[in-house]
Amino acid sequence: MSTHTDEAPQSSFVHGPFHVLRTLGAGGCGVAVAAQDIPTNRLMCIKVFLKDNLKFMSPALSPLNELAVYKRLALARPCPGTRFLMGLEFSFQTTKDICFAMDLMTNDLSHLMKSNSAYCYRHARRWTVQLALGIDALHELGIIHRDFKAGNILIDVRENVRIADFGLCYLAVDSRPLDRQWACSTEVVGTPYIMAPEILLCNVYDRDAMTYGPPVDWWALGCVLYQLVSPTHMAIFQTQRDTLDYAAWCTSSGGAHREFPILQNLKGNVGDLICGLLDPSPSWRYGFRDVSSHRLFLNPCGTSEFVDAYACALKRPEVPELMPDLRCDLEKASVLQRLAPGERRHLPDVDWFKPV
**Residues in contact with 260: Cβ distance below 8 Å, sequence separation at least 6, in sequence order:** 246, 249, 250
The β-bridge partners of 99 are 48, 92
Q: Per-residue confidence at 258, pLDDT binned at 50, 70, 90?
A: confident
Contact of 157 with 320, CB cutoff 8 Å? yes
Clarify whether residues 116 and 71 are in a common domain: no
| Domain CATH for 213 | 1.10.510.10
Instruction: Determine if the peptide bond prior to 17 is cis (ω within 30°).
Output: yes
pTM of the predicted model over 0.95: no
What's the pLDDT at 8? 39
Q: What is the pLDDT of residues 267-291, one digit of tens each?
A: 899 999 999 999 999 999 999 999 9
- Is the domain of 97 the same as that of 182? no
Range of the domain at 52: 5-104+324-340
pLDDT score for 333: 83
Same domain, 30 and 135: no
**Counted domains in the chain:** 2
132-189 confidence digits (pLDDT tens): 999 999 999 999 999 999 999 999 999 999 999 999 999 999 999 999 998 899 999 9
2 pLDDT tier (thresholds 50, 70, 90): very low
Residue 216 has pLDDT above 70, yes or no: yes
Say whether both 279 and 267 belong to one domain: yes
CATH (domain of 24): 3.30.200.20
Reduced to 3 DSSP states, what percent helix, strand and coil does the chain have, rounded to the nearest 5?
40, 15, 45
pLDDT for 255 equals 67
Q: Are residues 96 and 113 in the same domain?
A: no
At 79 the pLDDT is 87
- Got the DSSP string for 305-354? TTTTHHHHHHHSPP-GGGSPP---BGGG--EE-PPPTTSTTPPTT--EE-
Q: Are residues 82 and 176 in the same domain?
A: no
What pLDDT does 206 receive?
60
92 and 169 assigned to the same domain: no
In a domain, 149, yes or no: yes
Does 349 fall in a domain? no
Is 165 part of a structural domain of the chain? Answer: yes
Q: In this structure, is residue 123 part of a structural domain?
A: yes
Decide if 348 is inside a domain. Answer: no
Instruction: Evaluate whether residue 192 is within a structural domain.
Output: yes
Residue 334 lies in a domain: yes
The pLDDT tens digits for 315-327 are: 999 999 999 988 8
Please indicate, yes or no, whether residues 256 and 336 belong to a single structural domain of this protein: no
Task: Please tell me whether residues 239 and 112 are part of one structural domain.
Answer: yes
Same domain for 144 and 43, yes or no, is no
Same domain, 30 and 45: yes
Whether 3 has a pLDDT exceeding 60, the answer reads: no
Rounded Cα distance, 178 and 32, in Å: 31
Q: Are residues 66 and 15 in the same domain?
A: yes
In a domain, 304, yes or no: yes
Percent of the chain at pLDDT exceeding 70: 94
